[in-house]
Structure 1
Amino acid sequence: MRQRTRVAIVGAGPAGMLLAHLLDAHGIESVIVETRSQAYVLARIRAGILEHSTVELLRSVGLGDRLDAEGLPHRGIYLQTPQERHHLDFVDLVGRQVWVYGQTEVQKDLVAARTRAGQAVYYGVADVELDDLTTDRPTVRFTDADGVQRTLEADAVAGCDGSFGPSRAAIPAAVTSVWERTYPYSWLGVLASVPPSTDELIYAWHPDGFAMHSMRSAQVSRLYLQVPNGTRVDEWSHDRIWEALSTRLGHTGWELAAGPITEAAVLPMRSFVQSPMRHGRLFLAGDAAHIVPPTGAKGLNLAVADVALLARALAALLVDGDAGPADAYSETALRRVWRCTHFSWWMTSMLHTSGDPFDAQLQMSQLRWLFSSTAGATGLAENYAGLPLDL
């Protein structure tokens, strides 16, 4: 069965849903295909920090009401070693703040908005194939959840389907360049039904390994421990997790409150960038084109920046007949991608222990510089709170 649409979007996560929302504002119809179920996509626990620019964009397109009511605005972060804890106030430093608002909540808002708009979405599809990408009528073929074989004929295809979807692989290897780094450690991340023991995020360097105290709400804490690659969750009892967190996050006059752990998972860490982010009428966005370690809170925000840029480029191409922004999409997007890739690598390498005493001394020097230098702290704040979307 053949179906015509202006833009075929592969992937119904935040990148794909937000792109459909932005395209709709330009009068451009789209159809989304997703291999997972709607329930699975809604339940994925991922990023929790929204940059200033991301929040501004969501508000500007009618997606900010629940964020403003339930999100937690943070002026900055705490950065610490076992000897000292310092607060970096982003508002004082760069006039921008961040919000704690989980990716699951962003996804709920997007799904609600697109459902009201009558967005066409196929969940639970299989055998997705992208064809005719170098023509002006690219196609996406798939089998829907009822076993019906379908072909979407479009003017453009947006690959928003993450690291393991078909979009990235549809660009011939002969025309791509790939840069990748796998880090020698992972995160053990837990969700706990206990109010946060801090008003803002804590990033902690410790000889035993990095630790982080984040949150999802006023009642739910999100915490992380650096662990070796290959670690299994069942190697860490709940008591062991809380003991390690208390040690690594410990600070004079402060105590970590423990509570029931409702979810635990080991998260491998890597950096990945593929160029170009465009091939013919296929445009990649988000994790389909790049991955960053979560230390710098950039993954979801980078995807938002990608689709904001892509929506404008597709509107120029499909509404105004101007191919310039689409031709420049990959180069323009990659400037921000590499800036955020560097920042994420820098935060990661500064805070995670390697066991090398020389590395530890370099890390201490870097942290002391951030604690004592307004210029250093401003650089961190500028990148963490988020660069303008038109970078």
Structure 2
Amino acid sequence: MADLNRRTLLQAAALPALGGLPFRRARAQGTNNPANTIKLGLPVDMSGMYRDVTGQTSVAAARQAIQDFGQRGFNVELVFADHQNKPDVGVNIARQWFDRDGVDCLVDIATSSVALAANDICREKNKVHINSSAASSDLTGIRCSPNMVHWTYDTWMLANSVGGATVRAGGDSWYFITADYAFGHALERDTGGFVKAAGGKILGSVRTPFPGTSDFSSFLVQAQASGAKVIGLANAGTDTTNCVKQAAEFGLTRRGIRLASLLLFITEVHSLGLRTAQGLIVTESFYWDLNDRTRALTARVRPQIGNAGFASTHAGTYAGTLHYLKAVADMGVAAAKASGAEAVARMKAMPTDDDAFGPGRIREDGRKLHPAYLFEVKKPEESKAPWDYYKLLQTTPAEDAFRPLGQGGCPLVKA
């Protein structure tokens, strides 16, 4: 059997597939025995608005997990593709990987609409789905699956942390600017619930086309006209950064209107710059400078990613990949390849522990539990080093950070 010291991943080479849609393959050295090879597939955004929070850095994170996994006596092969944030493209990639290429596990899958579609395919084909980048809490609610683990964050966690904190600070009237697809709808729904529960009011919302919107001026004007104290940005990626930049240009914050960015990654803070982003409240489950373990992990990945940001989504890809490989080693390659549901069951039975999130566990609904952190973006003069952007405001313990087990409607949860 080939050991993992001989499995250094080779340079990826482009391959034609799916009617001109490129995907790339990184082969692991060792024997070519398919029965002794676990294949991981990363369908991510390589070219669109979420490329900085998934893309090549997610591939690097998965590679790092394979390397850190160490010598366990089986091969690992990694393939990745650009799903273009389109569910039909993502489904086609997943079907080809499962039916023709022998992929055992999908990891990451940015964009909730793609993730929800891929989730159904993984259940149909009895493969594993480890999601890091999609946010919809429906993945562990009404759309939960015995084949899926939801890592990193979700819309309920974000709403609980940012929404609740903002209302307690006096932001009791809201207007939402919402990306018009599954993620935006879920984030508006979950945050609105927390606002109302805290005594706040929802004065209105507008849904913006996804993808493709870059000018948010008319939507910001509608939000301002509503008289809301808080504009809730139920979007992500370049949608969020464009909203924040244009709100600053219009002087909305100078007029006393608060921006609640419900999902903002450190890569977007970097894009905005501290002069624009300072003071924004951010909820994250990972920050590279949180502790010695997060700093060590980021240092190991840094040679692969250069000056790019290492976000929570990338950390989730790393941690989810590592835990899956541990489960494969524990149950055996043949059993893991035979049933994705059984592989996920083994992942749930094993406690998690990694340098990104520390110790944790996976609930029966597939929700990975770890603390959530509320950060404030630093002022320019407070930042002392590259990517030194956050100061910690509060920590929500793992058992309180995510939706209670019995409230999501997951049919896997026993009454």
TM-score (norm 2): 0.28
Higher strand share: 1
TM-score (norm 1): 0.30
